[in-house]
Structures are given as C-alpha cells and as structure tokens.
C-alpha cells in the first residue's frame, strides 16, 4: 500500500515533467485513479481483517460510490477542471476515511455523511464562480458577515481545550464558523486589494483584518488567528508588492505573540510541552509525547492498520490524525501524504499565477496560503517541529466544518480552473499557441 501511494505521489509531480501532451497526462490521471482504488480496497480489506465488522464492507462500498461519482462529475461537467486536484481531493478523503474507520467507525460514518453533502453542494460552486460576476463587488458583505459570525462564536461559543471555537445549532450539531469565515475573509481581502491598492485602502483592509484576528484571539482560537494573520500578510505582500508591509506585519505579529504568551496560560502550556515534552510527560507534554511515541514506534513502514495504539493520543481524530497515519501506515506513507498536500498547494498557486484577473489571482493565492499554512501547523505540531496549535489536517481530520470548508475551497479553485480555460480559449483563438496547451494541461 505504501509503495502504491508512493507511486501515486510520484505521478502527482511527474505530470509536470517534460513536454507531455494532454493525452499522456490523461493517462497518468487514469493510472492515479486506478492506484487510488487499489489503495482504498487494500486498506479496507486490512481493516476488515482486523476489525471483523460487516459495517466496514458496506461503508467501503458507499465510499467507492461517492468517490467515483465525484470524479465522474468533474470529468463530465467541468472540462477545464484540474483532474489532478480532483484526484488528490479524493485520495485525501480516502486516507481520512481509512484512518477514521480505524479509530472509530461511528465517527467515520458521520464524516462520510458530511462529505456526501459537501460533494453535492460544492459540485455547483464551479458553475457559480463561472456564471456570477459580482463576486468582487460584495466586499463589505464578506467583512460584515465574517465579523458578525466570529463575534457570535466569541459570545455564544462553547469552550473546548481552552478555546472557544464552535457553536451548537439547536442542540443538534456543532459548527465551527471560523472555518467558513476563512473563506469569506479571503474573498474580502481579495476584493479590497485587487485594484492597485493605495495607502488608504491598505489601512482599511488592515483594520478589518485586525478585527477578525482580534476576535479570534478573544475567543482564544490562536491557531485560527494565526492562519488569518499569515494569510492576510502574504496576500497584502503579493497585492502591494511591498515586502515592507510583510516585514512590519511580522514584527507586530512577533510582539503580539510575546504578549499572547504572557497572557494565555494555555499558550505557555503548549510551549513548555514543545520544548521538552518528556520532562513534563505526566501533564503538559502528555499529548505530544503520545504523538511522538506513535510516530517513532510506527517507524518507516508503520505498525499496520489496526496494529498500533493511536487512540492513546488525545484528540487523535482531529489535531493528531497525522500521527495516527504515521504510526499505522508508516513514516514513508506520511511523507508521501505531505507531498500530496504540497501538490495541492502547488496547483492552487499555479492557478493563481495563470489567472489574468487580479481578484481571482489573489483569491487562489489566499486559499493556497490558508491550505498550505494549515498543513504546516498541524503536521509541524504533530512531529514537534513547532508547538501544537490545535489545527486540523484538511480533508483528512475528523470534523464536519473543516471538511466542508476545505471542499468549498477546492471547489472554488476548480471554478477558477474552469474560468481560466475560458480565458485560455479567448486567448487560443488569437494565438493558437503554446499557452492553450499549457492551460488545457491542468
């Protein structure tokens, strides 16, 4: 399985090598899908062998249906869509389903239902992106809805692990609005900064962004605050092309981090746990130590699905799913997983670079940063490269809000791919040149 996944990962990057024409690329994507199904099958076969639960088989079949419908839809309805991105999305979903089924099949099934709803919902998004043109005129709608949403959480939210991040709706289910407001936030920033921003605009945008970040800090969602903050700074840098803004932002951020460290005990706890987890293993360091035990014991090749003890790690399904994957499927598999995530990030950035309209460019960039930075925080936290911030691994971790939000982001990017193709066709008629091939290639 590890070998197959490594092959899959290799193909993610091999697609771009040399002058491959569309036909060859399509063949690679087809092979990726074949590999994906084989990995999926063998993973669930292993799970069934270990858990001996008929639900695993039924659940597997449902997943196959979901995956194949998703892939077929993208192929049929959106000819410009990036098949690589669609493949990667499905691959990550499969890995998520696999490890969640291993950890708790009930949670995996819940996750599946949300994924199903998300696929149906997000299938329309590329269409909306393509047809609706007033996206960039709703600047203040994004900002107001976003701030109102975050405020609602800060006031009504319930506290878990030291942070207020979720609100429960009618007692039925809980959502984490900050996951969705991330999307609005990126839209807002892209709107503000897309037309050669002058100093005044920058000030206004910064003030609004600061309000977002401060509300998040107030509700003690520091991981979230960090994501918003970094996303804004990088988008600002790219839009204004002034490194000065970024540098001064980072300076302010560092000062703010120092203050936060003094103010919030749960930040101190995490830093202490990060510095030397073994010395505080009974208290602060317990979680990170369990994560490192898991990754270390798993070794390069993993203990095998169902053979490890990932449930020893607190909140393993969310913040530490990466450790569970590393433990049971091995470090090599985990490395490939990082590379698949990197591949998604590169697709985002590639789209950003190829779009012509600055608004869409910034949009794709913003989502790329949100996605990439989140990977950095969650994986870095699990392997103790950085203090853990309580961020989920997009598409893999358990959590409906995170899953749905990420799928929306992926769908928006697919929408941009479709738009790009439209642009490309205009171009192509004039030039009939290389650009056409390049654009089609995705």
Partner 1 sequence: MEEKSRDKHTKKSGHNREFAVVAYSFLAIFVLLMGYLIYFEAALGEKFINNPYNKRQELFEQQVVRGSISTADGVVVAETLTGADGAEVRYYPYDNMFAHVVGYSTHGKTGIEALENFHLLRSNVSAAEKVIEDLRAVKNRGDHVVTTLSFDLQKAAYEAIGVYRGAVVVMEPATGKILAMVSKPDYNPNTVVEDWSLLTAEDNDKSQLLNRATQGLYPPGSTFKILTTLEYLAEHPDYENYHYNCSGVVTVDNNVIHCYGNTRHGEEDLMSSFARSCNTSYASLGLDLDITRFGELCNNMLFNSGLPLPLEYKQSSFVLKEGDSAADIMETSIGQGKTLVTPFHMALITCAIANDGMLMKPYVIERIENANQGVVESYKAVEYKELITPETAAVMQEFLKNVVKEGTGRKLKDTSYEVAGKTGSAEYHTGSDSSHSWFVGYAHMDGKEDIAVAVLAERAGSGSEYALPIAKEIFDSYYKQ
Smallest gap, in angstroms, from Cβ of residue 232 to partner 1?
A: 13
Smallest gap, in angstroms, from Cβ of residue 298 to partner 1?
A: 9
Residues that bind partner 1 (CB under 8 A): 16, 234, 237-238, 241, 278, 281, 289, 292-297, 299-300, 303, 307-309, 312, 326, 331, 334-335, 338-339, 341-342, 345-346, 349-350, 352-354, 361, 365, 368-369, 372-373, 375-376, 379-380, 383-385, 434-435, 438
List 185's β-bridge partners, or say none.
none
In sequence order, which residues have a C-beta less than 8 Å from that of residue 320 and are 6 or more positions away? 287, 291, 294, 313, 314, 381, 382
Q: Give dist(CA 82, CA 347) in Å, integer.
A: 8
Smallest gap, in angstroms, from Cβ of residue 159 to partner 1?
A: 29
Smallest gap, in angstroms, from Cβ of residue 153 to partner 1?
A: 28
Alpha-carbon dihedral angle through residues 411, 180, 165, 217, given to the nearest 10 degrees: 110
Q: Give dist(CA 102, CA 204) in Å, integer.
A: 48
Nearer to partner 1, 257 or 342 (CB): 342
Smallest gap, in angstroms, from Cβ of residue 383 to partner 1?
A: 5
- Going by the DSSP 8-state scheme, the letter that residue 137 receives in this structure is G
∠ CA 364-411-217 to the nearest 5 degrees?
60
Q: Give dist(CA 327, CA 291) in Å, integer.
A: 9
Which tokens in the block code for residue 112?
Answer: 């599946």
Smallest gap, in angstroms, from Cβ of residue 201 to partner 1?
A: 18
Smallest gap, in angstroms, from Cβ of residue 422 to partner 1?
A: 18
Report whether 377 contacts 196 (CB < 8 A).
no
Q: Give dist(CA 141, CA 184) in Å, integer.
A: 9
Nearer to partner 1, 67 or 325 (CB): 325
Smallest gap, in angstroms, from Cβ of residue 375 to partner 1?
A: 8
Nearer to partner 1, 24 or 438 (CB): 438
State how beta strands 163-169 and 158-160 pair. antiparallel
Nearer to partner 1, 21 or 72 (CB): 21
Nearer to partner 1, 138 or 271 (CB): 271
Q: Give dist(CA 347, CA 83) in Å, integer.
A: 11
Nearer to partner 1, 305 or 352 (CB): 352
Nearer to partner 1, 175 or 186 (CB): 186
Q: Give dist(CA 221, CA 229) in Å, integer.
A: 12
Nearer to partner 1, 151 or 309 (CB): 309
Smallest gap, in angstroms, from Cβ of residue 224 to partner 1?
A: 19
Nearer to partner 1, 118 or 235 (CB): 235
Q: Give dist(CA 147, CA 406) in Å, integer.
A: 20
Alpha-carbon dihedral angle through residues 57, 62, 64, 69, given to the nearest 10 degrees: 170
Half-sphere exposure of 264 (CA within 13 A, CB side): 19
């Amino acid at each position: 399985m590890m070998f197959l996944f490594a092959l899959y990962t290799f193909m993610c990057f091999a697609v771009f090598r040399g002058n491959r024409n569309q036909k060859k690329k399509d063949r690679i994507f087809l092979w990726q899908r074949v590999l994906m199904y084989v990995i999926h099958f063998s993973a669930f076969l292993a799970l069934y062998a270990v858990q001996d639960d008929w639900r695993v088989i039924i659940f597997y079949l449902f997943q196959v249906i979901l995956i194949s419908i998703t892939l077929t839809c993208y192929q049929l309805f959106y000819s410009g869509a990036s098949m690589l991105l669609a493949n990667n999305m499905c691959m990550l979903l499969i890995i998520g389903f696999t490890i969640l089924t291993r950890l708790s099949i009930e949670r995996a099934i819940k996750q599946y239902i949300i994924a199903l709803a998300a696929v149906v919902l997000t299938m329309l998004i590329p269409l909306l992106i393509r047809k609706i043109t007033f996206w960039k005129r709703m600047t203040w709608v994004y900002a107001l809805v976003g701030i109102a949403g975050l405020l609602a959480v800060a006031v009504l939210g319930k506290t878990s692990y030291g942070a207020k991040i979720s609100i429960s709706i009618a007692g039925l289910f809980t959502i984490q609005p900050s996951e969705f407001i991330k999307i609005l936030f990126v839209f807002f920033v892209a709107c503000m900064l897309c037309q050669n921003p002058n100093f005044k605009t920058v000030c206004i945008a910064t003030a609004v962004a600061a309000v977002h970040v401060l509300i998040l800090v107030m509700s003690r969602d520091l991981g979230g605050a960090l994501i918003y903050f970094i996303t804004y700074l990088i988008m600002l840098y790219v839009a204004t092309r002034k490194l000065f803004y970024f540098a001064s932002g980072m300076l302010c951020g560092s000062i703010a981090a120092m203050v936060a460290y003094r103010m919030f005990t749960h930040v101190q706890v995490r830093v202490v746990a990060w510095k030397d987890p073994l010395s505080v293993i009974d208290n602060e360091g317990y979680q990170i130590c369990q994560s490192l035990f898991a990754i270390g014991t798993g070794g390069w090749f993993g203990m095998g699905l169902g053979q490890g003890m990932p449930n020893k790690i607190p909140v393993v399904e969310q913040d530490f799913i990466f450790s569970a994957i590393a433990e049971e499927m091995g470090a090599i598999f985990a490395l490939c997983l990082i590379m698949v995530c990197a591949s998604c990030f590169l697709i985002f950035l590639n789209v950003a670079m190829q779009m012509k309209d600055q608004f869409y460019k910034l949009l794709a960039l913003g989502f790329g940063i949100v996605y990439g930075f989140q990977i950095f925080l969650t994986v870095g936290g699990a392997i103790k490269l950085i203090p853990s911030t309580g961020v989920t691994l997009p598409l893999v971790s358990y959590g409906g809000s995170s899953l749905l939000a990420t799928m929306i982001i992926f769908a928006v990017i697919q929408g941009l791919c479709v738009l790009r193709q439209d642009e490309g066709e205009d171009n192509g008629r004039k030039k009939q040149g290389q650009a056409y091939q390049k654009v089609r290639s995705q």
